[in-house]
Amino acid sequence: MNEVTTREVTEIAERVEAFVRDMVIPYETDPRRTPHGPSADLVHELREKARAASVLTPHILPDSRHLTHRQAALVLRKSGLSPLGPVAVNTSAPDEGNMYLLGKIGTTEQQTRFLAPLITGTVRSAFFMTEPAEEGGAGSDPSMLRTVAKPDGPDHWIINGRKAFVTGAAGAAFGIIVAKCDEGASLFLVDLPDPAIRIERVLDSIDSSMPGGHAVVRIEGLRVHASQMLGTRGEGLKDAQVRLSPARLSHCMRWLGACTRAQETATAYATKRYAFGKVLIDHQGVGFMLVDNAIELKQAELMIDWCADVLDAGSLGTKESSMTKVAVSEALYRVADRCVQVMGGTGVTRDTVVEQVFREMRAFRIYDGPTEVHKWSLAKGIKKGTL
């Protein structure tokens, strides 16, 4: 297919921004927003509005053309202007990352069965990788996988194990399970719900933007057909890398949009609120915080675009995405924190979106690899002379 032009991308981004600002932001006070993310009926309602506005799944065009990572950065940033925006227009995690992985390594049958309904926004998905720490399972170190897949005859596998922090498992139509077999790790596509996959509990977490929340899941005697293996047998960790670098980068894109909105909100407050004879922004301590935010937002944007260019050049971008994830997540947390500080008491209430953005940024420093794990990996590269 022909590449998407710059003009097309600009128009898509503008439509997405207008939709999020005009149609999605009013839903931020909707009671169907729960501690475990927006409810299923709210997600459906928002996506129907996005479909009507022709902004559903905007990073994949109706004629199947895909935006490049650099192009997607502009569009996903606009979708992130509200915590509900990515859910509404179908650019949210884990679905966006699962779309990318299925598009890259899925068979034609798998793409028809799993990818197509995900693109249309009629279903949600999950990615089962992290395992409970108390059982010594794989957290940030996937080599510690304890979930096991064993052959059951020539055409089936039996999977047993336990997973944690499975985003969106509650309400998902399918999931991708990372499990260990004799040859190494493998990926399996599974339909949900399934009696062999039991949600033990949905965790009460600091963030609240992702539908279904984050679940602890037990897998017992799950039987899957060989055709449901995704990618190459025994190469699951390598295949997962196809997803992980772009997925952590797309998180950066969306949250950059959210922190841009927080900065807008804090700036509006600081230019109207009077204290000690003048508006807050005229007090150097407040004005400088907003300036620091503007600088770090621009730095985050440039880091994202740099990493996107690396991925678009055909590299897995493992080192580059780790550097970007560290730099952007830490910078955006500082931005959100300053926004709370500028707004004082109002900043810690739910009267504005700033309070939620602050919570989401704190969680972002942990998921998709904590800052310290990425730094540890990068330090090994420095020691070897590869960074």
Distance CA(43)–CA(183), nearest Å, equals 40
Q: What is the pLDDT of residues 213-224, one digit of tens each?
A: 999 999 999 999
139 and 37: one domain? no
Please check whether residue 161 is in contact with residue 149, taking contact to mean a CB–CB distance below 8 angstroms: no
Q: What is the pLDDT of residue 138?
A: 67
Shared-domain flag, residues 373 and 263: yes
Residue 114 lies in a domain: no
The angle that helices 284-312 and 69-79 make with each other, rounded to 10 degrees, is 140
Indicate whether 288 belongs to any domain. yes
Q: Does residue 280 carry a pLDDT above 70?
A: yes
Q: Note whether 298 and 77 are within 8 A (CB).
A: no
| Same-domain status, 300 and 337 | yes
Q: Are residues 249 and 378 in the same domain?
A: yes
Average pLDDT over residues 365-377: 95
Strands (E), the chain: 33-34, 37-38, 125-128, 148-151, 156-167, 174-181, 184-191, 197-202, 214-225, 229-230, 274-275, 278-279
Give the pLDDT of residue 133: 86
Measured distance CA(68)–CA(14) in Å, rounded:
17
* pLDDT at 142 exceeding the cut of 80: no
Regarding whether 366 and 244 lie in a shared domain, the answer is: yes
* Domain encompassing residue 34: 6-92
What lies within 8 Å, CB to CB, of 174 at 6+ separation is 114, 123, 125, 126, 189, 190, 191, 192
Omega before 26 within 30 of 0, i.e. cis: no
pLDDT tens profile 40-66: 999 999 999 999 999 999 999 988 889
The answer to whether residue 100 sits within a structural domain is no
Hunting for tokens 């190469």 — which residue is that? 235
241 in the same domain as 372: yes
With a cut of 80, say whether residue 141 has pLDDT above it: no
Mean pLDDT of 157-166: 97
Backbone Cα Rg of the chain: 21
Q: What is the total count of domains within the chain? A: 3
Reported as a pLDDT band with limits 50, 70 and 90, residue 240 is very high
Same domain, 18 and 129: no
Q: In 209-353, where does DSSP find H-type helix?
A: 236-270, 284-312, 318-343
Q: Say if residue 243 is in the same domain as residue 161.
A: no
φ, ψ (nearest 5 deg) of residue 197: -115, 105
**Pairing, β 174-181 against β 125-128:** parallel
**pLDDT tens-place string over residues 65-91:** 899 999 999 999 999 999 999 999 999
- Give the residue among 308, 196, 316, 323 at the shortest CA–CA distance from 253: 308
Q: What share of the chain is helix, strand, coil (3-state, %, to 5)?
A: 55, 20, 30
311 plus 295 within the same structural domain? yes
Domain boundary among 211, 234, 257: 234
Average pLDDT, the chain: 96
Is there a domain that residue 35 lies in?
yes
CATH of the domain at 163: 2.40.110.10
pLDDT at 1: 53
- C-alpha 149/C-alpha 125 separation (Å) is 21
Assigned domain for 292 exists? yes
Contacting residues for 269 by C-beta, under 8 A, at least 6 apart: 280, 342, 343, 346, 352
| Per-residue pLDDT at 260 | 98
Task: DSSP letter for 279, please.
Answer: E
168 and 196 belong to one structural domain: yes
* Residues 162 and 252 reside in one and the same domain: no
Confidence band, pLDDT 50/70/90 cuts, at residue 3: confident
